[in-house]
Amino acid sequence: MYRPGRILAWSAGLTALLVAVVIVSAALGPVRIDPVTVSLAALNMLQVPTGLEWRVTTAFPISGSLRYPGLRYAPVFAFDVPETSQTIVGDVRLPRIALAATVGFGLAAAGTVMQGFFRNPLADPSIIGVSTGAAAGAVAAIAFPALVPFGGLHLSAFVGALLTAFAVYAIATEGGRTPVATLLLAGVAVQAFLGAMISYMLVHSGENLRQAVIWMMGHLHASNWVDVQFALPFALVGVGLLAAFTRDMNVLLLGETEASQLGVDVERTKLILLVIATIVTAAGVAVAGVIGFVGLVVPHMMRLIVGPDHRILLPTSALAGASFLVLTDTIARAGPAEVPVGIVTAALGAPFFLFLLKKREVHAV
Amino acid sequence: MSEQRDIQYHAHDPLVTVEAVDLAYDSLTVLEDVSFAIDRGSFVGLIGPNGAGKTSLVHALAGGRAPAVSGRITVDGQAMQALSARASSRLVSVVPQDTALSFSFPVRRIVEMGRHPHRSRFSPPSSDDQALVDRALERTRTAQFADRSIDEISGGERQRVLFARALAQDTPLMLLDEPTASLDINHQIETLELARDLTADGRTIVAAIHDLELAARYCDRLIILANGTVQADGEPESVLTAPALEDAFDAETVVGRNPVTGRPTVTAVSTGEREAQASRLSDRSVHVIGGGAGGATVLERVATTGAKTSVGPVSSDSIVTQRAQTLPSECLTTEPFAPVSDALRRAVLERCQNADVVIVADAVVTAGNQLLFEELDPEMEMVIVETTPFSRRNFAGTGATETYRSIRERAVEATPAGVVDAVERCCIGASGKSTRESSDRSPPETTTDD
pLDDT for the residue numbered A57: 66
Mean pLDDT of chain A, nearest integer: 86
Percentage with pLDDT > 90 across chain B = 15
| Among A105-114, A256-265, B30-39, B408-417, the least confident range | B408-417
pLDDT for the residue numbered B432: 44
- List the single residue in A254, A263, A308 with the smallest CB-CB distance to B100: A254
pLDDT for the residue numbered B101: 62
User: Is the CB of A261 less than 8 angstroms away from the CB of B130?
Assistant: no
Question: Strand pairing of B357-361 and B285-290?
Answer: parallel
Which residues have C-beta within 8 Å of that of residue A104, sequence separation ≥ 6? A294, A298, A321, A322, A323, A324, A325, A326
Give yes or no: residues B224 and B343 share one domain. Answer: no
Classify residue B213: in a domain, yes or no. Answer: yes
pLDDT for the residue numbered B270: 63
Could you tell me the end-to-end alpha-carbon distance of chain A, in angstroms, rounded to an integer? Answer: 22
8 A C-beta contact, residue A175 and residue A300 = no
Between CA A280 and CA A287 the distance in angstroms is 11
| Among A148-152, A332-336, B382-386, B423-427, the least confident range | A148-152
User: Is the confidence at residue A5, as pLDDT, over 60?
Assistant: yes
Mean pLDDT of chain B, nearest integer: 81
Nearest residue in chain A measured CA to CA from B108: A1
Å between A258 CA and nearest CA of chain B: 8
Give yes or no: residues B298 and B161 share one domain. Answer: no
8 A C-beta contact, residue A7 and residue A312 = yes
Which residues have C-beta within 8 Å of that of residue B427, sequence separation ≥ 6? B280, B281, B284, B356, B357, B381, B443, B447
User: Is the CB of A2 less than 8 angstroms away from the CB of B86?
Assistant: no
User: Is the confidence at residue B19, as pLDDT, over 70?
Assistant: yes
Residues of A in contact with B104 (CB under 8 A): 307-308, 364
| Among A36-40, A146-150, B203-207, the least confident range | A146-150
Mark which of B184, B211, B245 sits at the end of a domain.
B245
pLDDT for the residue numbered B215: 87
Give yes or no: residues B113 and B169 share one domain. Answer: yes
CB pairs under 8 A between A and B: 90
pLDDT band at residue A47, thresholds of 50, 70 and 90? confident
Residues of A in contact with B96 (CB under 8 A): 257-258, 261
User: Is the confidence at residue B279, as pLDDT, over 70?
Assistant: no
B232-271 tens-digit pLDDT: 888 888 887 777 777 777 766 667 677 677 777 777 666 6
| Domain boundaries, given as residue ranges, for chain A | 4-45+82-358
User: Is the CB of B113 less than 8 angstroms away from the CB of A262?
Assistant: yes
Between CA B296 and CA A362 the distance in angstroms is 58
pLDDT for the residue numbered A273: 92
Give yes or no: residues B199 and B304 share one domain. Answer: no
**How many structural domains is chain B composed of?**
2
Å between A361 CA and nearest CA of chain B: 10
Longest dimension (CA), chain B: 92
Burial classification of residue A169, based on how many CB atoms lie within 10 Å of its CB (0-12 exposed, 13-18 middle, 19 or more buried): buried
User: Is the confidence at residue B342, as pLDDT, over 50?
Assistant: yes
Q: Is the peptide bond before A121 cis (omega within 30 degrees of 0)?
A: no
Give yes or no: residues B95 and B182 share one domain. Answer: yes
Tell me which of A241, A245, A249, A262 to substitute to probe the interface with B (most B C-beta atoms closer than 10 Å): A262
| Nearest one of B177, B181, B182, B179 to B193, comparing CA atoms | B179
Does A113 or A49 have the greater pLDDT score?
A113
User: Is the confidence at residue A187, as pLDDT, over 60?
Assistant: yes
pTM of the complete model: 0.73
Give yes or no: residues B108 and B203 share one domain. Answer: yes
| Among A204-213, A356-365, B3-12, the least confident range | B3-12
Residues for chain B: how many in total? 450
Q: What is the ipTM of this complex?
A: 0.79
Give yes or no: residues B301 and B211 share one domain. Answer: no
Task: Read off the CATH number of the domain in which B25 is found.
Answer: 3.40.50.300
Residues of B in contact with A308 (CB under 8 A): 103-105
pLDDT band at residue A264, thresholds of 50, 70 and 90? very high
Chain A residues with CB within 8 Å of chain B CB: 1-2, 4, 119, 177, 244-245, 247-248, 250-251, 253-255, 257-258, 260-266, 307-309, 363-365
Å between B190 CA and nearest CA of chain A: 23
pLDDT for the residue numbered A326: 95
Does B147 or B26 have the greater pLDDT score?
B147
User: Is the CB of B92 less than 8 angstroms away from the CB of A244?
Assistant: no
Give yes or no: residues B351 and B439 share one domain. Answer: yes
| Nearest one of B53, B82, B42 to B65, comparing CA atoms | B82
Classify residue B54: in a domain, yes or no. Answer: yes
Q: What is the mean pLDDT of residues A154-175?
A: 90
Classify residue B257: in a domain, yes or no. Answer: no
Task: Read off the CATH number of the domain in which B420 is found.
Answer: 3.40.50.720
Q: Which of A227-231, A235-239, A297-301, B434-438 has the highest mean pLDDT?
A: A235-239
Mark which of B245, B280, B313 sits at the end of a domain.
B245
Q: Which fold has domain A4-45+82-358?
A: ABC transporter involved in vitamin B12 uptake, BtuC (1.10.3470)
Q: Where are the alpha helices (DSSP H) in B376-437?
A: 398-410, 419-437
pLDDT for the residue numbered B434: 42
Question: Strand pairing of B204-208 and A66-75?
Answer: unpaired
- Would you tell me how many other CB atoms lie within 10 Å of the CB of residue A264? 27
User: Is the confidence at residue B164, as pLDDT, over 60?
Assistant: yes
Nearest residue in chain A measured CA to CA from B95: A258
Nearest residue in chain B measured CA to CA from A304: B104
- Name the 3-class secondary structure at B160: helix
Distance of alpha carbon B367 from its chain centroid, rounded?
A: 37
User: Is the CB of A364 less than 8 angstroms away from the CB of B124?
Assistant: no
Classify residue B264: in a domain, yes or no. Answer: no
Percentage with pLDDT > 70 across chain B = 87
Q: What is the mean pLDDT of residues A288-294?
A: 86
Residues of B in contact with A254 (CB under 8 A): 99-101, 113
pLDDT for the residue numbered A210: 85
User: Is the confidence at residue B7, as pLDDT, over 60?
Assistant: no
Give yes or no: residues B194 and B297 share one domain. Answer: no
User: Is the confidence at residue B296, as pLDDT, over 50?
Assistant: yes
A208-251 tens-digit pLDDT: 888 888 888 888 877 888 888 889 999 999 999 999 999 999 99
- Name the 3-class secondary structure at A302: helix
Between CA A69 and CA B156 the distance in angstroms is 63
Å between B57 CA and nearest CA of chain A: 14
Between CA B356 and CA B431 the distance in angstroms is 9
User: Is the confidence at residue B420, as pLDDT, over 90?
Assistant: no
Per the structure, the complete domain to which residue B419 belongs is given by 270-449
- Name the 3-class secondary structure at B172: coil
Give yes or no: residues B237 and B275 share one domain. Answer: no
Q: Which of A61-65, A149-153, B93-97, B437-441 has the highest mean pLDDT?
A: B93-97
Å between B63 CA and nearest CA of chain A: 8
A105-160 tens-digit pLDDT: 999 999 999 988 887 777 777 788 888 999 999 888 888 877 666 667 888 889 99
A15-35 tens-digit pLDDT: 999 999 999 999 988 888 898
User: Is the confidence at residue B21, as pLDDT, over 80?
Assistant: yes
Classify residue B253: in a domain, yes or no. Answer: no
Give yes or no: residues B203 and B287 share one domain. Answer: no
Residues of B in contact with A250 (CB under 8 A): 105, 109, 113
Give yes or no: residues B306 and B212 share one domain. Answer: no
Nearest residue in chain A measured CA to CA from B146: A1
Classify residue B352: in a domain, yes or no. Answer: yes
pLDDT for the residue numbered B371: 83
